[in-house]
Amino acid sequence: MNWYIVWILFFLIVILGIGLYYSKKIKTADDFTMANFSLGFFPIAGSIIATSMGSAAVIGASGKGFEIGLSWFLTGLPTLFFSVLLAILLGSTIRKLKLYTIPDLFVRRFGKTAGLIPALIISVLYMTPTFGMQIVGMGAILTSVIDVSLVTAMLVGFFICVIFTLMGGLPSVAWTDAIQSVLILAGLIIMFILGTNYVGGFETVINNTPPNLLSFSGLETTELINYLIIFGPFYLVWQTSWQRISAAKTEKIAVSAVTVGFILTSLVGIFAIGIGIIARQAVPISTHPDLVYTEFLTTIFPPAVGGFFMVSLFAAVLTGATSFLLSGAMNISKDIYQGWIAPTASSEKILKVSRISVAGMAIGGLLVSLLITDIIAIYTYALSLSAITMVVPVLAAMFWKRATKKGMLASVIGSLIISILWRLLDQPLGLHMIIPGLVTSLVLIVIVSLLTNHDEEEQVEAYFFSLKQNVTSKNSYKAMALEKGDAR
C-alpha cells in the first residue's frame, strides 16, 4: 500500500468536502471573493500563515538552508516588519475604504484609468506566475511519492487547485487555510525535531556542517541587501493581506489576526531552513534544492508516518495556490470587468466572471510552471515587478495629497520600463532591478505630480490623514452633543 497516496487522498477528500459545503452558500460575488466581510480571528490568522508558508517558504526555504544556511532567515525579517506595519498603520484605513483590491484604491484616488495597469500587473505579473510557483511545488511533492513525470504531477496539482478554488471561493479557502495552517506548523516543527534525532542529534549536525552555513553572515552584503529589498516593501502591497484585512469581521480582528499570523510564520520559518541544514547529513549534496525537503522526508520516515508530513507540505502549497488564484481573479472581475467592461453588471454576472478568471489565470500559471521550474526565481521576479510598480503609488495615495494621476501613471510605467532594462543589462553593480525600479518610481511620481494638475475625476486627498480626521471630527461632534445634553 502506498501510504503517501492514502494520506493525500484522505486530505483531498476532506478539503473538497469543505469546498462543496461552502459552494452551496456562495450566492454573490462578495460571498465568493470577500466571505461577505465576516471572517473571524482564526480563519484570518490561519489563512495568513497557510498562504505565507507556501512553496517558497517551505520547499524554497529548505533548499536555501541546504545551500546557504541560517543566513536565509534574515531575508524573511523585512516581510514580518512590513506586514505588521501594514496591519497596524494602514489596517484601519483599508477597512474604512472597504477596498476589494489594491487597484480599487487607485481608481478611487486617481480615477478610472489609474486602476487598469495595476490590475493587470497584479493579476498577470504577480498572481499568475506565483500560482505557477505553487504548481512546481505540488509537482515536486507528487513525483517524490508517485512514479510519474514532473509534468504529469504538475497537471494533477493544477486540476486539484482549480476545482477547489472554483467551488467555495474565499470562505472555503480561508477555513481550509486555517485548518491547514495547523498541519503546516505541526509538520515543520515535528519533522525538524525527528529529523535531528535521525541524523544523530544537534551535536552531529553542528560538527558536520560547514561553519558558514551555521552563521547569519553567510550571504554577501550586496546579495543580502537585494533580498531585503525584494522581500520587504512588497508586503505593503501584498493583496492577500489587504483582502484579509477587508474581509475580517472587525478592525480589531483584522489587525490582530494579520499581525499574529505573520509573527508565527516568521518564527516557524526558521524550522524549514533548519530542515535544509539537517538534510545535508542524510541526502546527497548534489540534490536539487527544490527536492531537498521531500527527499529528506522520504528518507527518514516510513511511509505510514511520512504520509502525514507529506500532507502538511501538500497543504502548504495548495493553500498558497488557491489564495493567489482567488486574489488575481478579483482583480480581473472587479477592477477590469466591472470597472471597464460592464460597470452595471449584476453580482451574479461578476461571480461568473470571477470563476472564469480563476480558470484563465490557472492556465496562465500552468504555462509559467512548465517554462520555469525554479521556485525562488519565479517568486523573486513576481515580487519585484509588483513592488516596483505598486509601493510608491500606494503610499502616495495614502499619505501625499499632491500626487496626481499623471504622476502615478508615469511612476508605474516608467519604473516598469527601467527595471526591465536594468535586468536586460545584467543588473549593473550587482544591484537587483528592484532598487533602480523603486528609485525611478519615487522620482517620477514626485516630479511629474509637481509639474501637473489634478484631473477632474481625482479624489484629491491623502486617505490616511483625511479618514483619521473624519473620525476625530465625528468623535468631537459626539462629545459636544453629550455635553449639551448634560447641560440641559
Name the residue with cell 462629545: 479
Name the residue range of residue 197's domain: 3-386
Q: Is the dihedral of CA 186, 187, 190, 193 positive or negative?
A: negative
Query: pLDDT band at 167, cuts 50/70/90?
Result: low
For the chain, how many structural domains are there in total? 1
Instruction: Judge whether 410 lies within some domain.
Output: no
User: According to the model, what pLDDT value does residue 398 have?
Assistant: 94
What predicted TM-score, i.e. pTM, was given to this entire model?
0.77
Residue 449 belongs to some domain of the structure: no
- Compute the average pLDDT of residues 458-478: 71
Q: What is the spatial distance between Cα 137 and Cα 12, in angstroms, rounded to a whole number? A: 16
State yes or no: pLDDT of 339 exceeds 70.
Answer: yes
- 430 lies in a domain? no
Q: Is the pLDDT of residue 117 over 80?
A: yes
Least confident of 1-10, 113-122, 235-244, 411-420: 1-10
pLDDT in tens, 280-303: 999 898 888 878 888 888 888 888
Q: Is residue 249 part of a domain?
A: yes
pLDDT-based confidence at residue 328 (cuts at 50, 70, 90):
confident
**pLDDT per residue as tens digits for the range 247-282:** 788 889 889 999 998 998 888 788 989 999 999 999
What whole-number distance in Å separates Cα of residue 63 and Cα of residue 49?
A: 20
CATH of the domain at 290: 1.20.1730.10
- Please check the confidence at residue 475 and state whether its pLDDT lies above 60: no
445 found inside a domain: no
Residue 335 has pLDDT above 60, yes or no: yes
* Cα–Cα distance measured from residue 423 to residue 425, given in angstroms and rounded to the nearest whole number: 5
Give 425-432's long-range contacts (Cβ < 8 A, gap of 24+). 430/222, 430/223, 430/226, 431/222, 431/226, 432/226, 432/229, 432/230, 432/384
Residues 2-48 pLDDT 10s: 788 888 888 778 777 776 776 666 665 555 544 455 677 877 887 78
Residue 38 is predicted with a pLDDT of 66
Of the ranges 20-24, 76-80, 120-124, 447-451, the best mean pLDDT one: 447-451
Window from 61-65, 127-131, 413-417 with minimum mean pLDDT: 127-131
Model pLDDT, residue 463: 93
**Cβ(461)–Cβ(401) under 8 Å?**
yes
208 neighbors 69 (Cβ within 8 angstroms): no
Of the pLDDT bands very low, low, confident and very high (cuts 50, 70, 90), residue 405 is very high
pLDDT tens sequence across 119-128: 888 887 777 7
Alpha-carbon span 363 to 332, nearest angstrom: 15
pLDDT for 176 = 65
Mean local confidence (pLDDT), 210-230:
83
Question: What is the per-residue pLDDT for 246?
Answer: 82
Interacting residues of 479 by C-beta distance below 8 A, sequence separation 6+: none
Supply the pLDDT for residue 478. 45
pLDDT band at residue 476, thresholds of 50, 70 and 90? very low
